[in-house]
Amino acid sequence: MLVYPSGIDLSSRSLQPLSGLLAGHRRRIGSRWRRLTCGRQAVLVLAHPRCGDTYARLAAGFRVGIATVHRYIREAVDLLAALAPTLEQVITTVRKKAYVILDGTVLPIDRIAADRPYYSGKKKHHGMNVQVLADPAGRLIWASDALPGAVHGLTVARAHGTPAALAADDVKCWADRAYQGAGPAVRVPFRGKNLRGWRRRHNRDQGQGSLRLEGAVQHQCRAGRVERRDERGDPAAEHVHHAVRDLHHHRGVRRPGGWHEHAVPRGRVR
């Protein structure tokens, strides 16, 4: 078994909040001693979704058991997911904003024979459909619970009551053409190629907002790669995107010189 040092392109802005959250949890449950400190557990947890390291590689790199890695990651994900705001809390916050942006993404998951409902015909892979709301700058505000990837984005939004909640509080929302007919609060681009005047400006401004959100959504996809599922075959992704959303607001900026923000020992089984 070989072990080599590596790094994560994150700064201490991501590590410190998670370390403090883990330390508080350990005090509440009365955990006296563990193999890894809160800081080392936070690095392990961040390395899993950010770098895509498997449980076996993390176990070899941090010199702990695979079961310990699974327990550490699930513990941290559940703590972060509990901090995610509800849709009602988010609607109260976004009332002060000029508008919000609604979009969705399919978080990829590993596939097995039972994954047929999770196959996305649009993305051509198995995944979980998640709807997100963002502010005009493209910063993530809220992420919905995950539904199978085969479900259309508009259906997922309606299942969580997002268009109805926006309309009830008169919150303006921009979305792409996939949300045509979502409701009076959701504005979509005009159809047609030869648009003129204010219709053309409307599509241009809305397209710029969608591009900003697309960057945030793609970051969530890269940072929230799901490793697998439990013994029942249910996806283990239900809370991961909520955890990634909370870490998204604390993440650091990559240094121009490289990625060496946090040293991570990686293992390779021979």
pLDDT in tens, 39-71: 999 999 988 877 878 899 999 999 999 999 999
pLDDT in tens, 16-40: 889 999 999 999 999 988 999 999 9
pLDDT in tens, 185-231: 888 887 777 777 767 776 777 666 666 666 656 555 555 444 444 33
Please report the beta strands in 16-174, taking only residues with DSSP state E, as ranges in sequence order.
Answer: 100-108, 119-120, 125-134, 140-143, 147-148, 173-174
Give pLDDT, residue 30: 94
Alpha carbon distance 111, 163 (integer Å): 31
Q: Is the pTM of this model over 0.85?
A: no
